[in-house]
Each structure stands twice: as C-alpha cells, then as structure tokens.
Amino acid sequence: MSTIDETVTVVVTRKVKQGRESQYEDWLRRFLNESKSMKGYIGSTIQKPPPGSTEYTSIFRFDTVDNLRKFEESELRSRYLREVVDYVEADAVWKKYSGLEFWFSPPKGATIPQPSRFRMALVMIAVVFGLVVSIGQVVGMVAAEVPPYIRLFVTISIEIFLMTYILMPRITSLLSRWIYPS
C-alpha cells in the first residue's frame, strides 16, 4: 500500500518569545481556524507549555500525505509563517508520522524515521495481546458487576494510557535497531 493514501500526523514544536505568548496563541487560533478549510484537514491538538517553559506543541492530522503536501505548499501556510516570526525564538521543529509510527521512537541518529511496517505490526500485536489478556481479566474480576461496555471502556483507556506513556516508549527503545532497519 502506498503511504500517499495513509493519514499523516505532524507534530510541530515552537519556542515562543517570553511575553509574546498571548500574541502567539491568537496567531495560532487564527491559523488553525483557517486551516480547517484545507482539503484533507482532519484536526489539530495544541499542548500549551508547562510552567517555566515557552515551548508549544501543535499536532495536525491530514487524511493523506498528498493533502499535507498541498497544505505545506499553500499560500495560507506561507502567509502565517511570515507572520509568526515576530512571536517565536526560532524556526519550528516539524516531525511527520503516518500510520502506526507515531507510537514508535526512532533510534538516535535516524534522519528520516521509516520503521518496518511489518515489524511495527508484530510489536503492536504482541503488546496489544498482552494488555488485552492481562488488563481485560483484571478489570473483569474487579468490576464484574459493571456493564460490559463500561468495563470495555475502562480496559481500553488503561491499555492506551499504558501503551502511550509507559510501554511503547520503552519497548521501541529496546527494539529500535530491529524496528528501524538500516
């Protein structure tokens, strides 16, 4: 299957100049509002910086790599990038992910992370199977009287939290040379 037809996630981090945060947030709000009109735009998420930091993280999703490229080459994006220069300390850092690779961390020194899709699938199957069996049984025993759809929701929530924040970062770090063949 061609990667041109897969959804793509772009993670953008920007350091905002001290004292320019409200102007940057206004710029970002306007930019995201206009970006909604772009073909293939699925949505975005913004993570404000923690206290003591001025680094914002923006996550954009497009339905295809081709539509992302059109967005990247658009007049809309060019116009907004010219405007944001006054609010930020440096150029943004852009990382693109398609499919499941968002769950996988590339090894140090990888310039363009292109994990083996087959190997990613094997890792995901093993992790999801282990979590479904173990967490599903624990939730089933602890909440036997709770309706099945609520047990399922709790099980999935726990599994995704564990995969995102605990398991996948550690597993992909351990298996990175295997997942990302040279």
List the chain pLDDT tens, one digit each, 182 residues.
344 456 788 888 899 999 999 999 999 999 999 999 999 898 888 888 888 888 888 888 888 888 888 998 999 999 998 999 989 988 777 766 555 555 555 555 444 445 667 887 888 889 999 998 899 899 999 999 999 999 999 999 999 888 877 888 788 778 877 876 66
Q: What is the pLDDT of residue 103?
A: 53
Please list the residue range(s) of the chain that carry CATH number 3.30.70.100. 3-103
As a whole number of Å, the end-to-end CA separation of the chain is 21
pLDDT of 1 reads 38
**Alpha carbons 80 and 82: distance in angstroms, whole number:** 5
CATH placement of domain 3-103? 3.30.70.100
Overall pTM > 0.75: no
**139: Cα within 13 Å, side-chain hemisphere:** 20
Phi-psi domain of 172 (left: phi exceeds 0; alpha: psi -120 through 50; beta: other): alpha
Pairing of strands 93-98, 8-15: antiparallel
- CB-based burial, 18-56: b 16+ in 10 Å, e otherwise: eebeeebeebbeebbeebeebebbeebeeeeeeeeebeb
Q: What angle do CA 54, 42, 53 make, to 5 degrees?
A: 5
What is the Cα–Cα distance from 107 to 173, expressed in whole angstroms? 7
Q: Looking at residue 102, what is its pLDDT?
A: 53
DSSP reduced 3-state for 43: strand
CA 173-8-170 angle, to 5 degrees, is 15
Question: What is the percentage of the chain residues whose pLDDT exceeds 70?
Answer: 83
